[in-house]
């Protein structure tokens, strides 16, 4: 069994109009090498599901997104994701704006193959007003409480980035927080995992194996992508690249800013990308942020 492939082979599974989800959280451990591959592809009309970071802004800027299902979009140190803001304010983007916890609940419901999970989050807010598709339900028990029935968020394809993987699809997230990647892959028909490092077959200690957060039966393909989360953080390997994020962000308010970004950072492929960002020694030295 060998699930290793290139990111181009993974992205070839995408079709126009698919619903795709991303792991990570804001500017943290996003599968950016795969995102750049999607930017190079012809695929369009995607529904993007994410705790949004720069992947959301980049896919919007490239005209790939029909609908965004999100709880937020942020670069943290730069609070407002520049292209998200631009496209949201243009009024052309179809959105399903969810509470962060509801978002998790939707993925979990999909992973459990149930139509919905009940929650209080979202009641008495405009999350209900602006998402007429969200319904409430009465508890069938004595309490009779009215709750929001968060529908399952089924994904056609999920993309996540991890620290280590093997060719069988076993993965380790060795950073401080696994975020919600395990829910993202469980909600998807197919999941493709990029990793800083891919080995033939794991032979781990128990202590290391504890960093495995989802099983290989959920993984369709494994992609070796060193610095594949850059410019987002991949703890403990490297921090987010503020210089790069600022350049990306500034481009949103410049004429041809996005086209320039694509030319400099997307068109040339990953090796060129690492080179244009200062080379691998520099990338490995980007410190983790003090939060």
Residues that bind another protein (CB under 8 A): 25, 52, 70-74, 79-80, 84-85, 88-91, 97-102, 104, 119-127, 129-130, 136, 138, 144-146, 176-180, 290-291
2 CB-side CA count, 13 A:
7
Strand partners, 223: 194
CA 156, CA 15: separation in Å to the nearest integer? 10
How near is the Cβ of 5 to another protein at its closest, in Å?
A: 29
| 152 within 8 A of 75, measured Cβ to Cβ | no
Provide the minimum distance between the beta carbon of 173 and another protein in the complex, in angstroms, as a whole number.
10
Of 18 and 147, which CB lies nearer to another protein in the complex structure? 147
Compare residues 88 and 230 and give the one whose CB is closer to another protein.
88
Q: Which residue lies nearer to another protein by CB, 89 or 205?
A: 89
Q: Which lies closer to another protein via its Cβ, residue 120 or residue 201?
A: 120
Q: Is the dihedral of CA 96, 259, 36, 228 positive or negative?
A: negative
Length of the chain equals: 291
For residues 81 and 103, give the distance between their C-alpha atoms in angstroms, rounded to a whole number: 19
Nearest-approach distance from CB 121 to another protein, in angstroms: 3
CB-wise, 25 or 159, nearer to another protein?
25
Q: Which residues of 221-253 are buried (b: 16+ CB within 10 A; e: fewer)?
A: bbbbbbbbbbbbbbbebbbbbbebbebbbebbe
Residue among 18 and 288 whose Cβ is closer to another protein: 288
Which of 60/222 has CB closer to another protein?
A: 60
Q: Which of 148, 136, 160 is nearest to 99 (CA)?
A: 148
Taking the complex as a whole, how short is the minimal distance between the CB of residue 227 and another protein, in angstroms?
Answer: 21
User: Shortest gap between Cβ of 118 and another protein (angstroms)?
Assistant: 11
In the complex, what is the shortest distance from the CB of residue 97 to another protein, in angstroms, rounded to a whole number? 6
- In the complex, what is the shortest distance from the CB of residue 127 to another protein, in angstroms, rounded to a whole number? 5
Cα 88 versus chain centre, distance: 19
Whichever of 52 and 251 has its CB closer to another protein, that residue is 52
Least distance (Å) between residue 273 CB and another protein: 27
Please, which residues have CB within 8 angstroms of residue 232's CB and are 6 or more apart in sequence?
Answer: 24, 26, 27, 28, 29, 30, 32, 53, 54, 240
Rg of the chain's alpha carbons, rounded to an integer?
19
Query: Strand 221-224 vs strand 188-199: parallel, antiparallel, or unpaired?
Result: parallel
């Amino acid at each position: 069994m060998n699930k290793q492939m290139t990111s181009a082979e993974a992205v070839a599974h995408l079709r126009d109009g698919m619903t795709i989800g991303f792991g990570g959280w804001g500017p943290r451990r996003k599968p950016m090498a795969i995102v750049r591959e999607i930017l190079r592809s012809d695929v369009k009309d995607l529904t993007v599901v994410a705790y949004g970071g720069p992947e959301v802004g980049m896919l919007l800027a490239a005209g790939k997104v029909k609908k965004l299902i999100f709880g937020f979009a942020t670069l943290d140190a730069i609070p407002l994701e520049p292209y998200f803001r631009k496209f949201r304010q243009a009024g052309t983007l179809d959105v399903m704006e969810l509470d962060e916890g509801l978002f998790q609940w939707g993925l979990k419901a999909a992973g459990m193959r149930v139509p919905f999970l009940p929650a209080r989050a979202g009641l008495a807010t405009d999350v209900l007003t602006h998402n007429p598709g969200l319904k409430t339900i009465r508890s069938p028990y004595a309490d009779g409480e009215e709750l929001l029935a968060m529908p399952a968020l089924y994904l056609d394809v999920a993309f996540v980035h991890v620290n280590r993987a093997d060719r069988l699809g076993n993965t380790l997230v060795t950073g401080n927080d696994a975020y919600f990647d395990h829910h993202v892959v469980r909600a998807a028909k197919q999941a493709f995992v990029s990793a800083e490092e891919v080995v033939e077959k794991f032979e781990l200690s128990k202590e290391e194996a504890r960093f495995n957060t989802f099983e290989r039966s959920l993984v369709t393909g494994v992609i070796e992508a060193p610095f594949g989360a850059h410019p987002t953080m991949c703890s403990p390997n490297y921090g987010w690249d503020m210089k790069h994020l600022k350049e990306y962000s500034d481009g949103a308010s410049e004429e041809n800013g996005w086209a320039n970004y694509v030319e400099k950072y997307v068109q040339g492929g990953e090796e060129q990308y690492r080179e244009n960002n200062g080379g691998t020694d520099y990338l490995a030295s980007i410190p983790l942020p003090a939060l």
